[in-house]
Amino acid sequence: MPKRTPSTPWTKPAGAPVQGKVIPRPRRTAEVQSYLPELFRGMAITMRHFFKNTKEMMLGQKPDPVLEALNEGVTTICYPEEKRPYPERFRGLHRLTLRDDGSPRCVACLCCSTACPAQCIHIEAGEYAEGDKRRGYERFPKTFVIDELRCIFCGFCVEACPCDAIRMDTGIHATPYDSREQFIYRKDLLMEFTGRDGSRTSANPRHEPGDPSHPGLSREQNDH
């Protein structure tokens, strides 16, 4: 098959003369060649900002990095001493809400772990002891583990929970640990976290079986 020759080659044809454009060399004085004047100007600007920002930080006159981010001066957030305030709907670390007796409100229904798209929640359900009024009516989590490294903070677990037992209203994010094991949050740790208001309980009241206000059925109230 004969080799196809393009009609408009993008390369210069062989043997064609090169026609260049002569560009005059710019005139460089001794001042330009030494670079010293520009070096001193740059150092002067750097030192002016350095002393100005140091004075503002020492006297407490530093602009607020959140509210005055466009003002002249240091507008860098010095984390972790300074933190940008998170919005009210920020999905922070998980926490387990508690009942009045200090036990978790979780009933180990596995709704949160089922709804989790990242499969980062692991729950092992347990039965209450014989004689407990909740036996046969609900269970409790023997194990409740969340892998915060796998979590995508979508909030599906909070939406799926029928008991308001899990929330993401702590307003904090995970500490940058140096090992994976430290990102495995277990039940005891999740029960220690509080909401933004410092409370571990929930504003959504839970009516326990046997209470006059309980809307559902317990084993004693059931007809079958």
Residue among 128, 148, 140 nearest 190 (CA): 148
- At 40, the pLDDT band (50, 70, 90 cuts) reads very high
How far apart CA 196 and CA 170 sit, in angstroms, is 5
Q: Which of 102, 103, 181 is nearest to 142 (CA)?
A: 103
The reply to whether 48 and 109 lie within a common domain is: no
Pairwise CA distance, residues 184 & 199, whole Å: 23
Cα–Cα dist 151/156, whole Å? 11
Q: How far apart are CA 46 and CA 28, in angstroms?
A: 26
Q: Which tokens in the block code for residue 143?
A: 């194990």
Is position 136 within any domain? Answer: yes
216 CB-near residues (< 8 Å, 6+ apart) = 209
Write out the residue range of the structural domain in which residue 113 sits: 95-192
Check residue 3 and give its pLDDT. 54
At 224 the pLDDT is 45
Report in angstroms the alpha-carbon separations of 169 from 104, 117, 150, 224: 16, 20, 19, 40
Four-CA torsion 31, 32, 38, 40, nearest 10 degrees: -30
Please tell me which residue, 78 or 140, carries the higher pLDDT value.
140
The verdict on pTM exceeding 0.75 is no
* In a shared domain, residues 43 and 108: no
State the distance between the two ends of the chain, measured CA to CA, in whole angstroms: 88
Q: Where are the alpha helices (DSSP H) in the chain?
A: 30-34, 36-58, 111-115, 156-160, 187-192
> pLDDT tier at 163 (50, 70, 90 boundaries)?
confident
Return the closest-CA partner of residue 172 out of 190, 147, 145, 150. 190
Q: State the average pLDDT for the chain.
A: 82
| CATH code of 116's domain | 3.30.70.3270
Q: Is residue 210 part of a domain?
A: no
Considering the domain architecture, whether residues 110 and 159 belong to the same structural domain is answered as yes
Domain co-membership, 102 together with 170: yes
Backbone angles phi, psi at 180, to 5 degrees: -70, -35
Mean pLDDT for the stretch of residues 202-218:
68
Same domain flag for 73 and 102: no
- Say what the pLDDT of residue 216 is: 65
The alpha-helical segments, DSSP class H, found in 20-169 are 30-34, 36-58, 111-115, 156-160
* Predicted confidence (pLDDT) at residue 166 exceeds the cutoff of 90: yes
Residue 161 belongs to a domain:
yes
Confidence of residue 102 (pLDDT cuts 50, 70, 90): confident
